[in-house]
C-alpha cells in the first residue's frame, strides 16, 4: 500500500495556482494583440493611447470583478448591465429630484446595486431558481425601474468635481476612477488568495454539496457573492456617470455579455471552481485592446461584435478542451 504525500513546496504552490494560475494563455494572447496593433496603427503604442484604454475598460473591469466571484461559485449574473443603469438613475434621481447631497446619493446608488444582488441571491438560494432565470428576471425589472424613475429621460449636468473624478489625470497618469478600479482589483485578488472566505468560493464552485458537508454555509456565501456583484455594479454606475456627466436609463445595454466574456477569456470556467482576478484583468484588457485597436484601424463597430464573439467562442472551446484533458 502506498501513501501519497504532498510536499510542502507543492502545498505552497497550490494556492497561487488556485487564485492566479492559468493566465499564461490569455497573457500571450494580449501580448500578440498588442504587437499586431502596433504594426497596424502608429498611434497604438503610445502612453496616451494606453491611458485611453485604461479609461475605457474601467467600468467593464469593475463589473468583471464581481462576475469573477459569481462564476467561481458556479453562478452567472445577467443583470449587471441593468443594475448599473438602475443604480445610475437612482443616484441621479436622489441628487436632482430628492435634493440629497451628491456624495450621499452616490452611496445610495451603490446600495441600490447591492439590494438588487441581494434579491438575486435570495431567488437563487431560497426560491431555488436557476441563476440564469433569477438574474434574467432582475435584469428586466431593474431596466424597467431605471426607465420609470424619470420616464426614460436622462439626467445631465453634474458638478465639476464629480466629472473630474473620471476626466482629470493626476500626476499625468491615472484618474480617480481608474485608481479605484486598480485598488478594487488588488483587494479582490488578495481576498481570493489569502482569505479563507475567498478560498471557500472555489470550494462551492467545485462541488456545493461537498462544501456544505465541509461546514461551509453555501447559501450565505451565494447570497453575499451576488450582493458584492450588485454593489460593484453600483460602483461602476457612479464611475460611468462621472465619465458621461449624465445618468442614462439605457446605460449598460449588453455590457453583461462583455463582462462574462472578459472573465471567461481570462481563464474562468463557466462550470465553477476556476477563475482568478489576474486572469480577469487580462481578459478585460484583451477586450479593451481589441476595441481600441479595431477602432484605430477603422474597423466597423458591427464587425467588432463578430470579432468579440469569435474570441469568446475560442476561449470557451479552449476551456472545455482543457477540462476534458484533465
Mean pLDDT of 197-205: 93
Q: Is residue 160 part of a domain?
A: yes
Q: How many domains does the chain have?
A: 1
Q: What is the pLDDT of residue 303?
A: 84
CATH of residue 206: 1.10.3470
What residues form DSSP beta bridges with 170? 174
Q: Is residue 14 part of a domain?
A: no
- pLDDT number for residue 301: 82
**Per-residue model confidence (pLDDT) at position 308:** 78
| pLDDT tens digits along 53-110 | 999 999 999 999 999 999 999 999 999 999 999 999 999 999 999 989 999 999 999 9
Query: Between the ranges 119-123, 206-210, 286-290, where is the mean pLDDT highest?
Result: 119-123
C-alpha cell at 131: 441563476
pLDDT greater at residue 297 or residue 220: 220
| Residues ≥6 apart with Cβ < 8 Å to 40 | 293, 296, 297
Domain that holds residue 155: 23-33+43-325
- Tell me whether residue 321 is in a domain: yes
125: three-class secondary structure by DSSP = helix
Specify which of 106-115, 147-156, 189-198 reaches the highest per-range mean pLDDT: 106-115
Cβ atoms of 282 and 64 closer than 8 Å? no
Mean pLDDT of the chain: 88
For 272, left (φ over 0), alpha (ψ -120 to 50), or beta?
left
Does position 223 have pLDDT exceeding 80, yes or no? Answer: yes
User: Is the pLDDT at 243 greater than 70, yes or no?
Assistant: yes
Rounded CA separation 198/237 (Å): 25
Is the residue at 115 inside a domain? yes
Cell of 14: 497550490
| pLDDT of 115 above 70 | yes
pLDDT tens for 3-31 read 334 444 444 444 444 444 467 778 888 89
pLDDT range class, residue 309, cuts 50, 70, 90: confident
Which CA distances in Å does 180 have to 123, 289, 320? 30, 20, 34
Contact 53, 310 (CB under 8 A): no
pTM of this structure: 0.90
DSSP state of 128: -
CB 229 within 8 A of CB 69: yes
Torsion of Cα atoms, 249 then 254 then 260 then 262, to 10°: -100
Residue 253 placed within a domain: yes
- Alpha carbon 104 to its chain centroid, in Å, reads 24
Mean pLDDT of 182-210: 93
At 170, give phi and psi (nearest 5°).
Answer: -80, 140
Angle at 280 between CA 258 and CA 71, to 5 degrees: 75
Does a structural domain hold residue 125? yes
Q: How many residues in total does the chain contain?
A: 326
Per-residue model confidence as pLDDT tens digits over 255-288: 998 999 899 988 888 888 989 999 999 999 999 9
Which set of grid coordinates corresponds to residue 91?
443616484
Percent of the chain with pLDDT over 70: 91
Indicate whether 198 pLDDT > 50.
yes
230 band by pLDDT with thresholds 50, 70 and 90: very high
CB contact at 8 A, 75 and 64: no
Contact assessment for residue 238 and residue 166, using Cβ atoms and an 8 Å cutoff: no
Per-residue model confidence (pLDDT) at position 15: 42
Q: Is residue 3 part of a domain?
A: no
In-domain check, residue 181: yes
CA distance 258 to 283: 10
- The DSSP code sequence of 35-62 is HHHHHH-TTTSSHHHHHHHHHHHHHHHH
The span from the CA of 218 to the CA of 183, in Å, is 28
Query: DSSP 3-state assignment of 247?
Result: strand
Amino acid at each position: 500500500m502506498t501513501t501519497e504525500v504532498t510536499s510542502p513546496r507543492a502545498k505552497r504552490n497550490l494556492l497561487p495556482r488556485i487564485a492566479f494560475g492559468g493566465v499564461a494563455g490569455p497573457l500571450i494572447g494580449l501580448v500578440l494583440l498588442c504587437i499586431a496593433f502596433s504594426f497596424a496603427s502608429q498611434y497604438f503604442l503610445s502612453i496616451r493611447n494606453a491611458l485611453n484604454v485604461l479609461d475605457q475598460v474601467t467600468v467593464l473591469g469593475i463589473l468583471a470583478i464581481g462576475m469573477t466571484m459569481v462564476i467561481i461559485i458556479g453562478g452567472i449574473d445577467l443583470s449587471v448591465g441593468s443594475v448599473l443603469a438602475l443604480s445610475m438613475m437612482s443616484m441621479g434621481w436622489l441628487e436632482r429630484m430628492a435634493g440629497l447631497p451628491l456624495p450621499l446619493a452616490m452611496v445610495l446608488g451603490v446600495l441600490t446595486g447591492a439590494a438588487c444582488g441581494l434579491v438575486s441571491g435570495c431567488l437563487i438560494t431560497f426560491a431555488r431558481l436557476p441563476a440564469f432565470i433569477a438574474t434574467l428576471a432582475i435584469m428586466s425589472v431593474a431596466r424597467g425601474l431605471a426607465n420609470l424613475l424619470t420616464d426614460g429621460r436622462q439626467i445631465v449636468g453634474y458638478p465639476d468635481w464629480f466629472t473630474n473624478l473620471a476626466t482629470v489625470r493626476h500626476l499625468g497618469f491615472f484618474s480617480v476612477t481608474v485608481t479605484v478600479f486598480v485598488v478594487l482589483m488588488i483587494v479582490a485578488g488578495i481576498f481570493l488568495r489569502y482569505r479563507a472566505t475567498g478560498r471557500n468560493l472555489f470550494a462551492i464552485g467545485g462541488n456545493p454539496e461537498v462544501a456544505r458537508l465541509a461546514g461551509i454555509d453555501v447559501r450565505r456565501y451565494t447570497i453575499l457573492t451576488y450582493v458584492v456583484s450588485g454593489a460593484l455594479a453600483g460602483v461602476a454606475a457612479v464611475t460611468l456617470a462621472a465619465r458621461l456627466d449624465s445618468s442614462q436609463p439605457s446605460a449598460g445595454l449588453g455590457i453583461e455579455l462583455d463582462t462574462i466574456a472578459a472573465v471567461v477569456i481570462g481563464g474562468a470556467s463557466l462550470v465553477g471552481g476556476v477563475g482568478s482576478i489576474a486572469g480577469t484583468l487580462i481578459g478585460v484588457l484583451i477586450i479593451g485592446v481589441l476595441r481600441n485597436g479595431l477602432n484605430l484601424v477603422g474597423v466597423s463597430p458591427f464587425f467588432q461584435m463578430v470579432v468579440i464573439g469569435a474570441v469568446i467562442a475560442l476561449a470557451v472551446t479552449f476551456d472545455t478542451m482543457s477540462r476534458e484533458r484533465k
